[in-house]
Amino acid sequence: MDPYLLGLRLRGRRVVVVGGGAVATRRIPALLDAGADVLLVSPGVTASLEDLAAADRIRWEERPYQDGDCAGAWLVCACTDRPEVNAAVAAAAEEQRIWCVRADDAEASAAWTPASGRAGEVRVGVLSGDPRHSAAIRDAILTGLRSGQLTARHGRGHRSGVAIIGGGPGDPGLITVRGRQLLAEADVVLTDRLAPRSLLDELSADVEVIDVSKIPYGRAMAQEQINATLIEHAKAGRFVARLKGGDPFVFGRGAEEVLACLRAGIPVTVVPGVTSAVGVPTSAWVPVTHRGVAQDFHVVSVHVPPGDARSTVDWEVLGGGSGTLVLLMAVEQIGPVAAALLRNGRSPNTPVSVIANGTLPTQRTINSTLEQVEGAVRQEGIRPPAIIVVGDVVGVAAEITELMGHVTA
Ligand SMILES: C[S@@+](CC[C@H](N)C(=O)[O-])C[C@H]1O[C@@H](n2cnc3c(N)ncnc32)[C@H](O)[C@@H]1O
Protein backbone atom coordinates (compact mmCIF):
# COMPACT_ATOMS: atom_id res chain seq x y z
CA MET A 1 0.00 0.00 0.00
CA ASP A 2 1.36 3.42 -0.95
CA PRO A 3 2.03 5.71 2.02
CA TYR A 4 0.44 9.15 2.06
CA LEU A 5 3.09 11.88 2.32
CA LEU A 6 2.46 14.68 4.78
CA GLY A 7 4.46 17.59 6.16
CA LEU A 8 3.93 17.66 9.92
CA ARG A 9 3.89 21.10 11.53
CA LEU A 10 5.14 20.23 14.98
CA ARG A 11 5.69 23.61 16.61
CA GLY A 12 4.91 23.27 20.31
CA ARG A 13 3.55 19.72 19.84
CA ARG A 14 4.75 16.85 21.98
CA VAL A 15 6.85 14.18 20.26
CA VAL A 16 7.90 11.21 22.39
CA VAL A 17 11.15 9.51 21.43
CA VAL A 18 11.88 6.19 23.12
CA GLY A 19 15.54 5.14 23.00
CA GLY A 20 18.59 7.41 23.10
CA GLY A 21 21.01 5.79 20.65
CA ALA A 22 22.21 6.54 17.14
CA VAL A 23 18.74 6.70 15.53
CA ALA A 24 17.43 9.18 18.10
CA THR A 25 20.61 11.22 17.73
CA ARG A 26 19.85 11.61 14.02
CA ARG A 27 16.11 12.23 14.34
CA ILE A 28 15.85 14.60 17.29
CA PRO A 29 17.69 17.61 15.75
CA ALA A 30 15.26 17.56 12.79
CA LEU A 31 12.30 17.37 15.20
CA LEU A 32 13.71 20.34 17.10
CA ASP A 33 14.17 22.24 13.83
CA ALA A 34 10.44 21.74 13.28
CA GLY A 35 9.78 23.22 16.74
CA ALA A 36 8.64 19.98 18.38
CA ASP A 37 8.40 19.65 22.15
CA VAL A 38 10.57 16.52 22.50
CA LEU A 39 10.29 14.11 25.42
CA LEU A 40 13.09 11.52 25.34
CA VAL A 41 12.66 8.35 27.39
CA SER A 42 15.76 6.21 27.75
CA PRO A 43 17.99 4.91 30.55
CA GLY A 44 21.08 6.01 28.60
CA VAL A 45 21.67 8.48 25.79
CA THR A 46 24.48 9.57 23.48
CA ALA A 47 26.65 12.55 24.43
CA SER A 48 24.99 14.89 21.95
CA LEU A 49 21.51 14.03 23.28
CA GLU A 50 22.74 14.57 26.83
CA ASP A 51 24.02 17.92 25.67
CA LEU A 52 20.58 18.84 24.25
CA ALA A 53 18.97 17.84 27.55
CA ALA A 54 21.48 19.87 29.55
CA ALA A 55 20.69 22.88 27.37
CA ASP A 56 16.94 22.33 28.01
CA ARG A 57 16.31 21.78 24.31
CA ILE A 58 14.64 18.44 25.12
CA ARG A 59 13.23 16.84 28.25
CA TRP A 60 14.97 13.57 29.13
CA GLU A 61 13.41 10.95 31.39
CA GLU A 62 16.40 8.82 32.42
CA ARG A 63 14.63 5.48 32.74
CA PRO A 64 13.21 2.63 30.68
CA TYR A 65 9.96 3.07 28.75
CA GLN A 66 6.80 2.56 30.78
CA ASP A 67 3.08 2.46 30.07
CA GLY A 68 1.58 5.89 29.74
CA ASP A 69 4.66 7.55 28.18
CA CYS A 70 2.86 8.14 24.88
CA ALA A 71 0.05 10.12 26.51
CA GLY A 72 -0.40 13.56 25.01
CA ALA A 73 1.97 12.96 22.10
CA TRP A 74 1.18 13.80 18.47
CA LEU A 75 3.95 11.55 17.22
CA VAL A 76 6.01 8.76 18.75
CA CYS A 77 9.38 7.44 17.60
CA ALA A 78 10.31 3.98 18.83
CA CYS A 79 14.07 3.91 18.44
CA THR A 80 15.40 1.45 21.00
CA ASP A 81 17.58 -1.52 20.02
CA ARG A 82 15.06 -3.89 21.63
CA PRO A 83 12.27 -5.02 19.26
CA GLU A 84 9.95 -6.00 22.13
CA VAL A 85 10.16 -2.47 23.60
CA ASN A 86 9.60 -0.88 20.20
CA ALA A 87 6.60 -3.19 19.68
CA ALA A 88 5.13 -2.19 23.04
CA VAL A 89 5.61 1.51 22.25
CA ALA A 90 4.00 1.08 18.82
CA ALA A 91 1.07 -0.84 20.29
CA ALA A 92 0.44 1.81 22.95
CA ALA A 93 0.60 4.57 20.30
CA GLU A 94 -1.76 2.68 17.99
CA GLU A 95 -4.26 2.24 20.80
CA GLN A 96 -4.24 6.00 21.41
CA ARG A 97 -4.37 6.77 17.65
CA ILE A 98 -0.96 8.41 17.70
CA TRP A 99 1.28 8.01 14.68
CA CYS A 100 4.35 5.93 15.53
CA VAL A 101 7.55 5.39 13.60
CA ARG A 102 9.33 2.14 14.43
CA ALA A 103 13.02 2.37 13.59
CA ASP A 104 13.64 -1.40 13.69
CA ASP A 105 10.78 -2.76 11.58
CA ALA A 106 9.43 -0.85 8.59
CA GLU A 107 6.66 -3.39 7.95
CA ALA A 108 5.35 -3.08 11.50
CA SER A 109 5.63 0.71 11.49
CA ALA A 110 2.50 2.85 11.12
CA ALA A 111 4.48 5.79 9.73
CA TRP A 112 7.73 6.04 7.82
CA THR A 113 10.29 8.81 8.00
CA PRO A 114 11.20 9.94 4.50
CA ALA A 115 14.81 10.66 3.57
CA SER A 116 14.58 14.41 3.88
CA GLY A 117 16.63 17.54 3.48
CA ARG A 118 16.48 21.18 2.74
CA ALA A 119 17.77 23.39 -0.04
CA GLY A 120 16.95 27.00 0.74
CA GLU A 121 13.24 27.18 1.34
CA VAL A 122 12.52 23.89 -0.40
CA ARG A 123 11.98 20.76 1.68
CA VAL A 124 12.55 17.45 -0.02
CA GLY A 125 11.20 14.14 1.27
CA VAL A 126 11.72 10.81 -0.51
CA LEU A 127 10.13 7.43 0.22
CA SER A 128 11.04 4.54 -2.04
CA GLY A 129 10.68 1.48 0.19
CA ASP A 130 14.47 1.18 0.45
CA PRO A 131 16.00 3.75 2.84
CA ARG A 132 19.39 3.73 1.08
CA HIS A 133 17.80 4.29 -2.30
CA SER A 134 15.64 7.08 -0.84
CA ALA A 135 18.70 8.76 0.66
CA ALA A 136 20.57 8.55 -2.64
CA ILE A 137 17.65 10.12 -4.55
CA ARG A 138 17.30 12.79 -1.86
CA ASP A 139 21.02 13.59 -2.15
CA ALA A 140 20.82 13.82 -5.93
CA ILE A 141 17.87 16.23 -5.73
CA LEU A 142 19.50 18.36 -3.03
CA THR A 143 22.79 18.51 -4.92
CA GLY A 144 20.93 19.62 -8.04
CA LEU A 145 18.97 22.28 -6.16
CA ARG A 146 21.97 23.54 -4.25
CA SER A 147 24.19 23.72 -7.28
CA GLY A 148 21.51 25.46 -9.26
CA GLN A 149 21.40 22.65 -11.81
CA LEU A 150 17.80 21.91 -10.75
CA THR A 151 15.92 25.16 -10.61
CA ALA A 152 12.47 26.64 -10.99
CA ARG A 153 13.61 30.23 -11.44
CA HIS A 154 10.30 31.37 -12.86
CA GLY A 155 8.19 29.36 -10.47
CA ARG A 156 6.05 30.49 -7.57
CA GLY A 157 7.71 32.88 -5.15
CA HIS A 158 10.07 34.46 -7.67
CA ARG A 159 12.53 36.53 -5.68
CA SER A 160 12.99 40.24 -5.93
CA GLY A 161 15.57 42.71 -4.73
CA VAL A 162 19.31 42.29 -4.55
CA ALA A 163 21.51 39.54 -3.08
CA ILE A 164 25.08 40.56 -2.33
CA ILE A 165 26.89 37.23 -2.56
CA GLY A 166 30.38 36.42 -1.33
CA GLY A 167 31.71 34.00 -3.93
CA GLY A 168 34.86 32.89 -2.07
CA PRO A 169 38.41 33.23 -3.35
CA GLY A 170 37.93 31.82 -6.83
CA ASP A 171 37.53 28.04 -6.79
CA PRO A 172 33.85 27.51 -7.72
CA GLY A 173 33.62 24.83 -5.01
CA LEU A 174 34.23 27.45 -2.33
CA ILE A 175 31.05 29.49 -2.72
CA THR A 176 28.47 28.72 -0.01
CA VAL A 177 25.40 26.59 -0.69
CA ARG A 178 23.17 29.62 -0.17
CA GLY A 179 25.27 31.77 -2.47
CA ARG A 180 24.98 29.23 -5.23
CA GLN A 181 21.23 28.87 -4.77
CA LEU A 182 20.63 32.60 -4.98
CA LEU A 183 22.92 32.89 -7.98
CA ALA A 184 20.89 30.19 -9.74
CA GLU A 185 17.69 32.17 -9.14
CA ALA A 186 18.99 35.49 -10.40
CA ASP A 187 17.65 37.28 -13.47
CA VAL A 188 20.67 39.58 -13.59
CA VAL A 189 24.20 38.95 -12.27
CA LEU A 190 26.76 41.69 -11.68
CA THR A 191 30.13 40.02 -11.35
CA ASP A 192 33.64 40.94 -10.30
CA ARG A 193 37.00 39.90 -11.67
CA LEU A 194 37.82 37.97 -8.49
CA ALA A 195 34.47 36.20 -8.16
CA PRO A 196 34.27 32.49 -9.13
CA ARG A 197 33.50 33.34 -12.73
CA SER A 198 33.37 29.74 -13.92
CA LEU A 199 29.93 29.58 -12.25
CA LEU A 200 28.58 32.03 -14.80
CA ASP A 201 28.76 29.34 -17.43
CA GLU A 202 26.09 27.38 -15.56
CA LEU A 203 23.51 30.17 -15.68
CA SER A 204 20.55 29.94 -18.05
CA ALA A 205 21.03 31.68 -21.36
CA ASP A 206 18.39 34.31 -20.51
CA VAL A 207 20.24 35.53 -17.41
CA GLU A 208 21.88 38.89 -18.05
CA VAL A 209 25.51 38.93 -16.88
CA ILE A 210 27.14 42.32 -16.37
CA ASP A 211 30.89 42.47 -15.79
CA VAL A 212 31.70 45.26 -13.33
CA SER A 213 35.31 44.21 -12.66
CA LYS A 214 37.77 46.67 -11.30
CA ILE A 215 41.20 45.98 -12.75
CA PRO A 216 43.99 47.11 -10.37
CA TYR A 217 45.51 50.27 -11.87
CA GLY A 218 43.32 49.62 -14.92
CA ARG A 219 39.76 50.14 -16.09
CA ALA A 220 36.99 50.08 -13.57
CA MET A 221 33.29 50.74 -13.35
CA ALA A 222 32.73 53.45 -10.75
CA GLN A 223 31.09 52.24 -7.53
CA GLU A 224 28.26 54.74 -7.99
CA GLN A 225 27.50 53.23 -11.39
CA ILE A 226 27.53 49.71 -9.93
CA ASN A 227 25.08 50.82 -7.23
CA ALA A 228 22.86 52.51 -9.80
CA THR A 229 22.84 49.37 -11.99
CA LEU A 230 21.82 47.17 -9.04
CA ILE A 231 18.99 49.53 -8.18
CA GLU A 232 17.81 50.00 -11.76
CA HIS A 233 17.42 46.25 -12.40
CA ALA A 234 15.85 45.56 -9.00
CA LYS A 235 13.34 48.38 -9.54
CA ALA A 236 12.40 46.77 -12.85
CA GLY A 237 11.33 43.67 -10.84
CA ARG A 238 14.37 41.53 -11.58
CA PHE A 239 16.15 39.52 -8.94
CA VAL A 240 19.74 40.77 -8.96
CA ALA A 241 22.75 38.79 -7.74
CA ARG A 242 25.88 40.78 -7.03
CA LEU A 243 28.62 38.14 -7.17
CA LYS A 244 31.79 39.26 -5.42
CA GLY A 245 35.14 37.70 -4.61
CA GLY A 246 35.79 36.45 -1.07
CA ASP A 247 33.52 37.94 1.55
CA PRO A 248 31.54 40.98 0.44
CA PHE A 249 32.31 42.94 3.61
CA VAL A 250 36.10 42.39 3.59
CA PHE A 251 37.58 45.17 1.47
CA GLY A 252 34.73 44.50 -0.92
CA ARG A 253 32.56 47.62 -0.66
CA GLY A 254 29.64 45.26 -0.08
CA ALA A 255 28.22 47.35 2.73
CA GLU A 256 28.18 50.41 0.45
CA GLU A 257 26.07 48.44 -2.01
CA VAL A 258 23.73 47.31 0.78
CA LEU A 259 23.29 50.90 1.98
CA ALA A 260 22.68 52.20 -1.54
CA CYS A 261 19.99 49.56 -2.15
CA LEU A 262 18.28 50.20 1.17
CA ARG A 263 18.31 53.97 0.59
CA ALA A 264 16.57 53.31 -2.70
CA GLY A 265 13.98 51.14 -0.92
CA ILE A 266 15.27 47.89 -2.45
CA PRO A 267 15.15 44.72 -0.28
CA VAL A 268 18.64 43.33 0.05
CA THR A 269 20.24 40.23 1.48
CA VAL A 270 23.89 39.40 2.04
CA VAL A 271 25.59 36.01 1.84
CA PRO A 272 28.94 35.69 3.64
CA GLY A 273 31.82 34.23 1.69
CA VAL A 274 35.17 32.56 2.37
CA THR A 275 37.49 35.53 2.43
CA SER A 276 40.76 35.25 0.50
CA ALA A 277 42.45 36.68 3.61
CA VAL A 278 42.07 33.31 5.31
CA GLY A 279 41.04 30.93 2.52
CA VAL A 280 44.05 31.62 0.30
CA PRO A 281 46.69 31.05 3.02
CA THR A 282 44.82 27.89 4.05
CA SER A 283 44.83 26.64 0.47
CA ALA A 284 48.64 27.03 0.54
CA TRP A 285 48.83 25.23 3.92
CA VAL A 286 49.63 28.45 5.81
CA PRO A 287 47.62 28.57 9.07
CA VAL A 288 47.05 32.21 10.00
CA THR A 289 47.21 31.16 13.66
CA HIS A 290 49.08 28.22 15.19
CA ARG A 291 49.39 27.27 18.85
CA GLY A 292 52.69 28.49 20.23
CA VAL A 293 53.50 30.42 17.04
CA ALA A 294 50.87 33.12 16.49
CA GLN A 295 47.89 34.11 18.63
CA ASP A 296 46.75 37.00 16.49
CA PHE A 297 46.47 37.82 12.84
CA HIS A 298 45.91 41.16 11.18
CA VAL A 299 44.32 41.62 7.79
CA VAL A 300 45.59 44.74 6.10
CA SER A 301 44.68 46.42 2.82
CA VAL A 302 47.72 47.97 1.15
CA HIS A 303 45.90 49.72 -1.67
CA VAL A 304 47.75 52.81 -0.45
CA PRO A 305 51.38 52.51 0.76
CA PRO A 306 52.72 53.28 4.27
CA GLY A 307 53.32 56.98 4.64
CA ASP A 308 50.55 57.93 2.19
CA ALA A 309 48.27 60.56 3.69
CA ARG A 310 45.24 58.36 2.88
CA SER A 311 46.61 55.37 4.87
CA THR A 312 44.95 54.70 8.23
CA VAL A 313 47.12 51.64 9.01
CA ASP A 314 49.39 51.86 12.07
CA TRP A 315 52.60 50.33 10.65
CA GLU A 316 54.44 51.10 13.87
CA VAL A 317 52.14 48.77 15.81
CA LEU A 318 52.21 46.07 13.11
CA GLY A 319 56.01 46.24 12.89
CA GLY A 320 56.39 46.07 16.66
CA GLY A 321 54.08 43.07 17.12
CA SER A 322 54.65 39.37 16.48
CA GLY A 323 51.26 38.35 15.07
CA THR A 324 50.67 37.12 11.54
CA LEU A 325 50.15 39.83 8.94
CA VAL A 326 47.90 39.05 5.99
CA LEU A 327 48.39 41.70 3.33
CA LEU A 328 45.85 42.24 0.55
CA MET A 329 46.40 44.35 -2.56
CA ALA A 330 50.07 44.46 -1.60
CA VAL A 331 51.96 43.25 -4.67
CA GLU A 332 52.71 46.71 -6.03
CA GLN A 333 53.56 48.13 -2.59
CA ILE A 334 55.54 45.28 -1.09
CA GLY A 335 58.80 47.29 -1.08
CA PRO A 336 57.53 50.19 1.09
CA VAL A 337 55.55 47.72 3.26
CA ALA A 338 58.58 45.54 4.02
CA ALA A 339 60.65 48.65 4.73
CA ALA A 340 58.01 49.97 7.15
CA LEU A 341 57.81 46.65 9.02
CA LEU A 342 61.62 46.38 9.26
CA ARG A 343 61.91 49.97 10.41
CA ASN A 344 59.39 49.35 13.17
CA GLY A 345 60.96 46.20 14.59
CA ARG A 346 60.22 43.06 12.54
CA SER A 347 63.28 40.91 11.93
CA PRO A 348 64.75 40.85 8.40
CA ASN A 349 64.54 37.02 8.55
CA THR A 350 60.79 36.98 9.21
CA PRO A 351 59.36 34.37 6.80
CA VAL A 352 57.04 35.63 4.08
CA SER A 353 54.79 33.68 1.74
CA VAL A 354 53.33 35.21 -1.41
CA ILE A 355 50.35 33.28 -2.78
CA ALA A 356 49.03 34.35 -6.17
CA ASN A 357 45.76 33.15 -7.78
CA GLY A 358 44.90 31.27 -4.59
CA THR A 359 42.54 28.27 -4.90
CA LEU A 360 42.63 28.48 -8.71
CA PRO A 361 44.40 25.98 -10.99
CA THR A 362 47.06 28.67 -11.53
CA GLN A 363 47.80 29.07 -7.79
CA ARG A 364 51.44 29.80 -7.18
CA THR A 365 53.40 30.31 -3.94
CA ILE A 366 56.81 31.80 -3.39
CA ASN A 367 58.54 31.86 -0.03
CA SER A 368 61.02 34.49 1.04
CA THR A 369 61.97 36.71 3.95
CA LEU A 370 60.92 40.23 4.82
CA GLU A 371 64.30 41.53 3.71
CA GLN A 372 64.20 39.84 0.32
CA VAL A 373 60.54 39.63 -0.57
CA GLU A 374 60.39 42.66 -2.84
CA GLY A 375 63.18 41.29 -5.04
CA ALA A 376 61.59 37.84 -5.08
CA VAL A 377 58.18 39.23 -6.10
CA ARG A 378 59.71 41.24 -8.97
CA GLN A 379 62.05 38.45 -10.08
CA GLU A 380 59.24 35.87 -10.15
CA GLY A 381 56.92 38.28 -11.93
CA ILE A 382 54.13 37.89 -9.37
CA ARG A 383 50.99 39.73 -10.42
CA PRO A 384 47.78 40.42 -8.48
CA PRO A 385 45.69 38.91 -7.11
CA ALA A 386 48.01 37.75 -4.36
CA ILE A 387 47.96 37.40 -0.59
CA ILE A 388 51.19 38.11 1.25
CA VAL A 389 51.56 36.42 4.65
CA VAL A 390 54.24 37.70 7.02
CA GLY A 391 55.16 35.73 10.14
CA ASP A 392 56.45 32.52 11.63
CA VAL A 393 53.31 30.62 10.61
CA VAL A 394 54.88 30.39 7.15
CA GLY A 395 57.29 27.88 8.72
CA VAL A 396 54.35 25.66 9.68
CA ALA A 397 53.35 25.46 6.01
CA ALA A 398 56.88 24.30 5.20
CA GLU A 399 56.59 21.58 7.84
CA ILE A 400 53.21 20.46 6.46
CA THR A 401 54.38 20.32 2.85
CA GLU A 402 57.52 18.41 3.87
CA LEU A 403 55.37 15.78 5.63
CA MET A 404 52.88 15.72 2.77
CA GLY A 405 55.69 14.52 0.54
CA HIS A 406 56.00 11.38 2.68
CA VAL A 407 52.29 10.54 2.76
CA THR A 408 50.84 8.73 -0.20
CA ALA A 409 47.13 8.91 -0.97
C1 LIG B 1 39.48 44.27 -3.27
S2 LIG B 1 40.18 42.96 -2.34
C3 LIG B 1 38.77 41.94 -2.16
C4 LIG B 1 38.88 40.95 -1.04
C5 LIG B 1 37.68 40.03 -0.97
N6 LIG B 1 36.48 40.75 -0.61
C7 LIG B 1 37.91 38.88 0.01
O8 LIG B 1 37.25 38.81 1.07
O9 LIG B 1 38.73 38.01 -0.30
C10 LIG B 1 41.14 42.16 -3.56
C11 LIG B 1 42.37 41.48 -3.02
O12 LIG B 1 42.03 40.27 -2.41
C13 LIG B 1 43.11 39.35 -2.57
N14 LIG B 1 42.60 38.18 -3.32
C15 LIG B 1 41.34 37.96 -3.69
N16 LIG B 1 41.24 36.76 -4.30
C17 LIG B 1 42.46 36.22 -4.31
C18 LIG B 1 42.99 35.00 -4.79
N19 LIG B 1 42.23 34.08 -5.37
N20 LIG B 1 44.31 34.78 -4.61
C21 LIG B 1 45.09 35.67 -3.99
N22 LIG B 1 44.64 36.83 -3.52
C23 LIG B 1 43.34 37.11 -3.66
C24 LIG B 1 44.19 40.07 -3.34
O25 LIG B 1 45.08 40.64 -2.40
C26 LIG B 1 43.39 41.11 -4.06
O27 LIG B 1 44.21 42.19 -4.43
Of ligand 1's listed atoms, the one at least distance from the Cα of 216 is 27
What digits encode the pLDDT tens for the residues 290-305?
999 999 999 999 999 9
Measuring from atom 19 of ligand 1, which residue has the nearest CA? 358
Who lines ligand 1 at CB under 6 A?
169-170, 194, 245-247, 250-252, 275-277, 280, 328-329, 355-360, 384-387
Catalytic residue (one of 37, 69, 104, 192): 192
- Comparing 77-86, 127-136, 167-176, 275-284, which segment has the lowest mean pLDDT? 127-136
Would you state the pLDDT for residue 330? 97
Measuring from atom 12 of ligand 1, which residue has the nearest CA? 328
- Bridge-based pairing of strands 364-369 and 351-356 is antiparallel
Instruction: Give whole-number Cα distances, 222 to 52, 214, 227, 228, 241, in Å.
Output: 51, 8, 9, 10, 18
Q: Where are the beta strands (DSSP E) in 42-174?
A: 59-61, 75-78, 99-102, 115-119, 122-126, 161-166
Would you state the pLDDT for residue 2? 85
Q: What is the arithmetic mean of pLDDT over 71-99?
A: 97
Residue 217 has pLDDT above 70, yes or no: no
Would you state the pLDDT for residue 371? 97
Residue 408 has pLDDT above 90, yes or no: no
Residue 121 has pLDDT above 80, yes or no: no
User: DSSP alpha helices (H): ranges in 34-82?
Assistant: 47-54
Full strand arrangement of the beta sheet holding 364-369:
297-301, 324-328, 386-390, 351-356, 364-369
Q: Which of 191, 226, 244, 276 to mutate to test the pocket of ligand 1 (most atoms within 8 A of CB)?
A: 276
Q: How far, in Å, from the CA of 131 to the mean position of ligand 1?
A: 44
Would you state the pLDDT for residue 214? 67
Would you state the pLDDT for residue 155? 56
Q: How far, in Å, from the CA of 389 to the mean position of ligand 1?
A: 13
Q: What is the arithmetic mean of pLDDT over 333-343?
A: 97
Asked about 235 being catalytic, the answer comes back as no
Rounded to 5 degrees, what angle do the CA atoms 120, 122, 128 make?
A: 130
Of ligand 1's listed atoms, the one at least distance from the Cα of 359 is 19
Of ligand 1's listed atoms, the one at least distance from the Cα of 327 is 25
Residue 204 has pLDDT above 90, yes or no: no
- Bridge-based pairing of strands 75-78 and 14-18 is parallel
Measuring from atom 21 of ligand 1, which residue has the nearest CA? 386
What digits encode the pLDDT tens for the residues 43-61?
999 999 999 999 999 999 9
Q: What is the arithmetic mean of pLDDT over 374-386?
A: 97
pLDDT over 90 percentage in the chain:
82
What digits encode the pLDDT tens for the residues 154-198?
555 678 999 999 999 999 999 998 898 899 889 999 999 899 988
Asked about 244 being catalytic, the answer comes back as no
Residue 403: pLDDT band with limits 50, 70, 90: very high
Would you state the pLDDT for residue 215? 63
Average pLDDT, the chain: 93
Residue 368 has pLDDT above 60, yes or no: yes
